[in-house]
């Protein structure tokens, strides 16, 4: 039950400090993809609810820090904690969420504790790579995949693997499911930045390229353009776009097939995720993949 996970998260932070819980209440609740995964893989026991709460607290902490690093003014359509308060507050709240989650993680098996800790180290490297790649245009597909693996897929991979271990299922097979789900999830996120509007996204559209992030559709687009259009695309990097430039960019994304090609990669990864756990015939986990590919925000 997701409500029980929410309550556990709340109580964990309430136990720490009264100001921390007041701040925590201002964090918008996300999709809780990781918590849903834990419950769908290992069932609805108190242990799986606790694991789900721990992982969601770590994820929430990482987003608090990410919004400071990205200087993001909004998170899920509402002002970010760094915008409402300040960066110091967001960093400190993130520290509390993250260290309390680690304290609770000690109650789990060494495999679970190590898997999550290792994932968070890689996640931190992923964020560093993301920042590094935002300094100048980055058109290497392999580097993009390595970065999104660490930034996004690694925690989802560890989520699925640890949930499986809690339920005595094959953690390697579930790790592969989680990894491919996470990669596909990030690719769809990157596609939506181009295809969805601001209202649906809860953040400005076409923001990635302006922030210096060259995502998969941009890598495919660049490969497909003639030299004049390549030059034009390069002039738009990190730029506040005019309406004409937005229309040009969105048009090229569609006509070049860069968006479709990226979605196809995500669909293929989704299928590979399902193949990894086919023997479990878990319809809920099949639906997670389908919903993730078809989502609008």
Among 56, 66, 193, 208, binds Mg ion (CB under 5 A): 66
Q: Count the Cβ atoms, other than its own, within 10 Å of residue 292.
A: 19
Give the helix ranges, DSSP H, for the chain.
2-16, 18-24, 33-42, 46-69, 81-84, 87-105, 110-133, 141-148, 154-166, 171-195, 198-201, 207-210, 216-224, 227-236, 243-255, 258-276, 283-294
Q: How far apart are CA 259 and CA 246, in angstroms?
A: 15
Q: How far apart are CA 162 and CA 156, in angstroms?
A: 10
Among 5, 20, 90, 127, binds ligand FPP (CB under 6 A): 127
134 interacts with, out of Mg ion, ligand FPP, none, CB within 5 to 8 A per kind: none
Here's the x/- map for ligand FPP, 57-76, by CB under 6 A: it reads as -x--xx--xx---x-x----
Exposed/middle/buried for residue 228 (C-beta within 10 Å: 0-12, 13-18, 19+): exposed
Task: Find the part of the chain contacting ligand FPP (CB under 6 A) among 21-29, 55-63, 158-166, 228-236.
Answer: 55-63
Task: Find the part of the chain contacting Mg ion (CB under 5 A) among 70-78, 84-92, 228-236, 264-272.
Answer: 70-78
CB of 199 to ligand FPP, least distance (A): 16
**Are the C-beta atoms of 289 and 267 separated by less than 8 Å?**
no
Asked if 117 touches ligand FPP (CB under 6 A), the answer is no
Among residues 70 and 190, whose Cβ is nearest to Mg ion? 70
How far is Cα of residue 200 from the mean position of the Cα atoms in its chain?
Answer: 17
Here's the x/- map for ligand FPP, 152-191, by CB under 6 A: it reads as x---------------------------------------
Q: Count the Cβ atoms, other than its own, within 10 Å of residue 256.
A: 18
Among 124, 134, 224, 282, binds ligand FPP (CB under 6 A): 124
CB of 115 to ligand FPP, least distance (A): 15
120 interacts with, out of ligand FPP, Mg ion, none, CB within 5 to 8 A per kind: ligand FPP
Rounded to whole angstroms, the maximal C-alpha distance in the chain is 60
Q: How far apart are CA 13 and CA 248, in angstroms?
A: 47
CB of 228 to ligand FPP, least distance (A): 30
Among residues 93 and 164, whose Cβ is nearest to ligand FPP? 93
Among residues 97 and 277, whose Cβ is nearest to ligand FPP? 97
The residues of the shown chain that bind ligand FPP, judged by CB under 6 A, are 58, 61-62, 65-66, 70, 72, 94, 98, 120, 123-124, 127, 151-152
């Amino acid at each position: 039950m997701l409500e029980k996970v929410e309550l556990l998260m709340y109580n964990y932070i309430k136990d720490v400090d009264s100001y921390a819980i007041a701040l925590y209440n201002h964090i918008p609740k996300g999709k809780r993809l990781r918590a849903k995964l834990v419950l769908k893989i290992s069932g609805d026991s108190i242990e799986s609810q606790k694991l789900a709460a721990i992982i969601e607290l770590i994820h929430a902490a990482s987003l608090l820090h990410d919004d400071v690093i990205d200087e993001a003014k909004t998170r899920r359509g509402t002002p970010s904690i760094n915008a409402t308060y300040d960066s110091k507050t967001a960093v400190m709240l993130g520290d509390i969420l993250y260290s309390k989650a680690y304290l609770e993680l000690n109650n789990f098996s060494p495999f679970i504790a190590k898997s999550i800790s290792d994932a968070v180290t890689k996640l931190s490297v992923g964020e560093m790579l993301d920042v590094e790649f935002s300094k100048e245009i980055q058109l290497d597909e392999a580097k993009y995949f390595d970065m999104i693996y660490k930034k996004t897929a690694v925690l989802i991979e560890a989520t699925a693997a640890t949930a499986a271990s809690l339920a005595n299922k094959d953690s390697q097979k579930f790790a592969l499911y989680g990894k491919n789900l996470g990669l596909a999830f990030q690719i769809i996120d990157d596609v939506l930045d181009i295809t969805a509007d601001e209202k649906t996204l809860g953040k400005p559209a076409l923001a990635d390229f302006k922030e210096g992030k060259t995502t998969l559709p941009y890598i495919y687009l660049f490969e497909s353009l003639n030299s004049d259009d390549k030059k034009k695309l390069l002039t738009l990097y990190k730029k506040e776009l005019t309406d004409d430039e937005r229309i040009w960019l969105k048009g090229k994304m569609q006509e070049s097939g860069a968006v479709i090609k990226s979605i196809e990669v995500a669909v293929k990864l989704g299928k590979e995720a399902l193949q990894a756990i086919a023997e479990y015939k878990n319809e809920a986990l099949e639906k997670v993949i389908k919903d993730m590919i078809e989502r609008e925000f």
